[in-house]
Structure 1
Amino acid sequence: MRLRFLGKCGSNQGGCPTLYATDRDTYVVQGWRTNDEATVEIPHSLLGFAEPDTFVGAMMADTGRGTFTVSGRPLVDPETLAHMSLAIDETAIEVPKRERTFYGAVDHGR
């Protein structure tokens, strides 16, 4: 899998939560480890790096402290992981990339 860096934020240390696009029309989300290997924690602002007219199509939960937990397929491919700068408390998951087709309420001219 080839990765294309989109952006990082959330830490002033090495790795930092990071968002990548893949050559498989998915996203790879690098984030802080949780108790579930298929779930990472990321700052809200990381999602702002998604490609135009797309979004991270994965189950998310707001932690109430400026972060989301995001669930996906754990990334275990050593070759792909070697291209990432993972801090000791980080891991990565692959999630669907979805096309945004709805942007909010429609004005009915009221």
Structure 2
Amino acid sequence: MKLRFLGTNSTSGDCPTLYATDRDSYIVQGWQLFANELLMQLEIPEGETAVEVPTELFEHLKEDGLPAVDIKRPQAPIMIHTPQGTCVVQGRAVTDQEALAQMSIPHYETCVEVPKSAITALLEEPRGADLQR
């Protein structure tokens, strides 16, 4: 899998980072979740994991040509906003060695792959039935 760097919120390069892939998906590198209250609320299927990132990380989606970069409708299990102003992103755990070799991942971080369509759906304004929930 080939990665294209979209952005990070760090100057040192070892912080949450966003990549586009050649598989029509995004790689979200973020802080690992350990046994905390939020993690216990998630139902994470085998082969998937979740990371926590600052919400501002998704401003870098504009580097992939997306016109709007505000997450307008976070939806579990893809994304959950936290009271601390971050978000938890769930997706397939990245095990592709070619992709991992392109990243600098400190021991307290990991990464998930999320389909591009799932992320772009979060950018859309709520419509019809969504507004009645």
TM-score range, shorter chain: 0.7 to 0.9
> Could you give the per-residue CA deviations for residues 47-94 of structure 1, whole angstroms, max 9, x where no partner exists?
111121477896111111121000000001222101101111000110
Shift of 1:14: 4.4
Question: With structure 2 as the length reference, what TM-score do the two structures score?
Answer: 0.67
Q: How many residues are treated as equivalent by the alignment? A: 104
Correspondences of 1:1-110 after superposition (within 5 Å): 1-9=1-9, 11=10, 13-35=12-34, 38-50=49-61, 51=64, 52-53=66-67, 59-98=78-117, 99=120, 102-103=124-125
Query: What are the ranges of 5 or more consecutive residues in structure 2 without an aligned counterpart?
Result: 40-47, 128-133
Q: Give the alignment's Cα RMSD to 1 decimal.
A: 2.7
Question: With structure 1 as the length reference, what TM-score do the two structures score?
Answer: 0.79
**Is the CA contact 2:2–2:98 (under 8 Å) kept in the aligned structure 1?**
no
When residues 64 and 16 of structure 1 are mapped into structure 2, their CA distance, relative to the original with a 3 A threshold, is same
When residues 75 and 62 of structure 1 are mapped into structure 2, their CA distance, relative to the original with a 3 A threshold, is same
Query: What are the ranges of 5 or more consecutive residues in structure 1 without an aligned counterpart?
Result: 106-110
Letter in 1 for 2:28: V
SS in 2 for 1:30: strand
SS in 2 for 1:80: helix
Letter in 1 for 2:97: P
When residues 47 and 104 of structure 1 are mapped into structure 2, their CA distance, relative to the original with a 3 A threshold, is same
Shift of 1:104: 6.7
Letter in 1 for 2:27: V
What is the identity percentage for the equivalent residue pairs of Structure 1 and Structure 2? 45
